[in-house]
Amino acid sequence: MAKALTISTNYGVEQDELVVPVEELTARGVAVTVAAAAKEPIQTLVGDKDPGKVVDSDASFDEVDPSEFDVLIIPGGTLNADSLRLDDTALSIIKNFTDSGRPVAAICHGPWAVLEAGGVEGKSLTSYASLQTDIANAGGSWTDQPVVIDNTGGYTLITSRNPDDLKDFVGAIGQALDLS
């Protein structure tokens, strides 16, 4: 059985970017663990401002062993991604995946955290449009597409722009996990 790790802060993650991949991958037989900064409920937001669903976390960042998972999923939300990129434990989880060659999937503002972990240099990716300059400054190449899969540089990076791209994003994660 494939295992996915999703990382999120406890406040500010974009609701559908957390909930939809978890629900759809679970329905396809993937064991999904949601790890948060603290093992407490996660308050999601809709459009970075309106309260969304409260989602239970399965573990804190400190409680997970990233080496036990096949893919890392980083949802967006401006507050979530900005906080993740300042969290040393979250960054070490990301580096564990990139250094070991396992796929990382980040949507919307999520690539900010990958960028901070040193994982976008030489990569082609997409994101929320406002990250274009940050990505270019970190040595990545930004493109405006629903999903970008880059298999170069030792690991696969899957990126999407926003919640409208979730079907393509989740499909690309399924492809990386070789789900049929």
Statement: the pTM of the whole predicted model exceeds 0.85: yes
Average pLDDT of the residues in 46-52: 97
Sketch out the chain's domains with CATH numbers: 3-176 (3.40.50.880)
pLDDT the model gives residue 16? 98
pLDDT tens per residue across span 13-39: 999 999 999 999 999 999 999 999 999
pLDDT the model gives residue 11? 98
In the structure, what pLDDT confidence band is assigned to residue 153 with cuts at 50, 70 and 90? very high
Say whether pLDDT at 180 is over 80.
no
Average pLDDT of the residues in 80-98: 98
Q: Known catalytic residue: 109?
A: yes
Q: Which long-range contacts (CB under 8 A, 24 or more apart) does 129-137 make?
A: 129/161, 135/111
On average, the pLDDT of the chain sits at 97
Of the candidates 22, 76, 78, 109, the residue annotated as catalytic is 109
Coil, strand or helix at 130: helix
The 10 Å CB-count burial string (b at 16+, else e) for 51-83 is ebeebebeeebeebebeebbbbbbbbbbbbbeb
Residue 11 structure tokens: 């406040």
Say whether pLDDT at 140 is over 70.
yes
Residue entry with tokens 């970017």: 17
Mention every residue, 6+ apart, whose C-beta is less than 8 A from residue 101.
Answer: 154, 155
